[in-house]
């Protein structure tokens, strides 16, 4: 059996859901587990709604827009099940409003975050399940929160592998045996208390890998709006080309440096179980895309990764005290606590400089913890360019017109932090 994952980047309108159904119907009954994330930009919209609520600002217009977007989808897709789907959508909105009415404090906002954003995945998957049912596809909808068991990290939970694997095997395998397509959500899970947790932004790829590993799938396919894994974003670099093949290691390295194509946690479980990953173009499903597995040779093109929305953080102590190993240990510990990774890190005598993803929920916690011990100087809204396996002149040429704040050259890796162009 195989696992297919469809993200919000490809399922944006009714046409794409029809296409998704065709891809599913082309497979043998009982041979497919399907993971979907929220439709289009739903997660982002839910995050904005939550931020309005925390800031005490009205969010009704945004919620209405989201409601209309999904209602329009129902109108376009469903026939016999349209009324049932409207009821489902109304109940969805009621649930969301009820969660939003709970008092949100700084401490509990992470928990509320998971509850609210998870609703995007739940709604999308229910809607798709109705459509598949109308298309006579034998399909069972499962709530991923009953299977992906995690710790208490609401925004970036860690998976309890043993329990998760057991639960998945118990329920998914018999359904596949009954020739069902099993449809579930990416990104979401639940903790011991049954409270909703999430696996980190763009975490649906990781769910695909969790399911593939637990079920011993023959492959995981991530359907994307790009031809496959590229060595650079074609919108930014003219000479961008697609890799037909990549090793797990090369893919993981790209993901580590921030290439958005696949979530960084996806590769490890696949590699551990020797499960190939296919990254394939949703809009051109006959194309092969990129296959990621063991045994491919060295990467033959330089790889450019641009990470936007970074924060450049400098930590120092109040007096002329060295930034010691003990200080480093404290920083690393706190990064780990927040499940944050430094995309670049440089220690000098009196300070530590690092570049991090500017994720509000995670950096907030980090600043609170480190602020007790260090002086923090943070420069938000910077970009980070990483060039792997290339000549540093390639990176420097691209950066020629930019204001570079920090640059690093090591064999095979060039990294530069720079100011984004001012918006016109």
Spatial separation of the C-alpha atoms in residues 288 and 298, rounded to whole Å: 20
d(CA 360, CA 302): 32
User: Of 118 and 215, which CB lies nearer to ligand ASP in the complex structure?
Assistant: 118
Interface with ligand ASP, residue 85, by CB under 6 A: no
Q: Which does 227 bind (CB under 5 to 8 A by kind): Mg ion, ligand ASP, none?
A: none
CB 11, CB 21: distance < 8 Å: no
- Smallest gap from residue 37 Cβ to Mg ion (A): 4
Task: Report the nearest approach of ligand ASP to the CB of residue 364 (Å).
Answer: 18
Contact status: 202 vs ligand ASP (CB under 6 A): yes
Query: Which 104-123 residues touch ligand ASP, going by CB under 6 A?
Result: 120
Distance CA 265, CA 255 (A): 9
258 touching ligand ASP, by CB under 6 A? no
Q: How far is the CB of 199 from ligand ASP (least distance, A)?
A: 8
CA dist., res. 244 & res. 219, Å (int): 16
Q: How far is the CB of 360 from ligand ASP (least distance, A)?
A: 13
Roughly what angle, to the nearest 10 degrees, separates helices 82-101 and 60-77? 160
Structure tokens, 316:
């120092």
Per-residue mark of binding to Mg ion, 15-54 (x: CB under 5 A): ----------------------x-----x-----------
- The Cα 266–Cα 214 span in angstroms is 13
The helix (H) or strand (E) run that includes residue 52 is helix 42-54
Q: 154 Cβ partners below 8 Å, 6+ apart? A: 110, 111, 113, 114, 195, 196, 197, 198
C-alpha to C-alpha distances, 74 to 16, 68, 128, 186, 205, nearest whole angstrom: 13, 10, 10, 21, 26
**Closer residue to ligand ASP in complex, CB, 143/346:** 143
Provide the minimum distance between the beta carbon of 21 and ligand ASP in the complex, in angstroms, as a whole number: 20
Q: CB 4 → Mg ion: shortest distance, Å?
A: 16
Neighbours of 389 (CB within 10 A): 15
- Is residue 204 within the footprint of ligand ASP (CB under 6 A)? yes
Question: What x-and-dash track marks residues 145-184 binding ligand ASP by CB under 6 A?
Answer: ----------------------------------------
Quick one: which of 230, 295, 277, 43 has its CA closest to 155?
A: 43
Phi-psi region at 391: left, alpha or beta (left = phi > 0; alpha = psi -120 to 50): beta
- 231 lies in the site for Mg ion, by CB under 5 A: no
Instruction: Mark residue 83 as left, alpha or beta (left: phi above 0; alpha: psi -120 to 50; beta: remaining).
Output: alpha
Please pick, from the candidates 40, 153, 203, 269, the single residue that binds ligand ASP as defined by CB under 6 A: 203
Q: Cβ closer to ligand ASP: 116 or 417?
A: 116
Contact 34, 183 (CB under 8 A): yes
Could you say which of 7, 40, 208, 289 contacts ligand ASP (CB under 6 A)? Answer: 7
Choice between 8 and 258, CB closer to Mg ion: 8
User: Would you give the binding string for ligand ASP spanning residues 21-60, x where CB under 6 A is met?
Assistant: ----------------xx----x-----------------
Contact 42, 125 (CB under 8 A): no
Chain contacts with Mg ion (rule: CB under 5 A): 8, 37, 43
Q: Which residues bind ligand ASP (CB under 6 A)?
A: 7-8, 37-38, 43, 120, 186-187, 201-204
């Amino acid at each position: 059996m195989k696992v297919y994952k469809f993200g919000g980047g490809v399922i944006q309108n009714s046409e794409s859901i029809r296409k998704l159904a065709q891809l599913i119907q082309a497979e043998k009954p009982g041979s497919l587990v399907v993971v979907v994330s929220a439709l289009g930009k739903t997660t982002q919209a839910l995050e904005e709604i939550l931020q309005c609520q925390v800031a005490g600002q009205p969010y009704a217009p945004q919620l209405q827009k989201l409601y209309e977007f999904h209602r329009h989808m129902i109108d376009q897709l469903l026939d016999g099940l349209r009324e049932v789907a409207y009821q489902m959508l109304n109940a969805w909105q009621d649930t969301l409003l009820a969660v939003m009415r709970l008092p949100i404090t700084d401490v509990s906002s992470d928990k509320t975050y998971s509850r609210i954003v998870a609703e995007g995945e739940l709604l999308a998957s229910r809607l798709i399940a109705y459509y598949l049912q109308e298309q006579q596809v034998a399909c069972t909808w499962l709530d991923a929160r009953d299977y992906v068991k995690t710790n208490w990290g609401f925004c970036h939970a860690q998976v309890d592998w043993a329990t998760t694997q057991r639960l998945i095997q118990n329920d998914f395998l018999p359904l596949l045996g009954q020739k069902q397509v099993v449809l579930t959500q990416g990104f979401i899970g639940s903790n011991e208390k049954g409270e909703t947790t999430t696996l980190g932004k763009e975490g649906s790829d990781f769910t695909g890998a969790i399911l593939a590993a637990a079920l011993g799938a023959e492959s995981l396919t991530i359907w994307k709006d790009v031809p496959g894994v590229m060595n650079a974003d074609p919108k930014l670099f003219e000479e961008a080309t697609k890799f037909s093949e990549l090793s797990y290691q090369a893919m993981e390295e790209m993901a580590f440096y921030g290439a958005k194509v696949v979530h960084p946690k996806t590769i490890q479980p696949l590699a551990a179980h020797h499960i190939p990953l296919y990254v394939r173009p949703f809009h051109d499903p006959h194309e092969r895309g990129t296959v990621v597995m063991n045994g491919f040779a060295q990467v033959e093109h330089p790889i450019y990764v641009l990470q936007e929305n970074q924060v450049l953080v400098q930590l120092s102590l109040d007096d002329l005290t060295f930034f010691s190993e003990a200080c480093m240990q404290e920083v690393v510990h706190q990064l780990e606590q927040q499940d944050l990774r430094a995309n670049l890190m440089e220690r000098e005598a009196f300070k530590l400089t690092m570049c991090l993803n500017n994720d509000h929920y995670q950096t907030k916690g980090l600043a609170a913890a480190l602020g007790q011990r260090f002086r923090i100087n943070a420069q938000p809204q910077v970009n980070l360019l990483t060039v792997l396996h290339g000549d540093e002149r390639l990176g420097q040429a691209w950066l020629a017109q930019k204001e570079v704040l920090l640059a690093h050259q090591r064999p095979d890796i060039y990294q530069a932090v720079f100011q984004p162009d001012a918006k016109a």
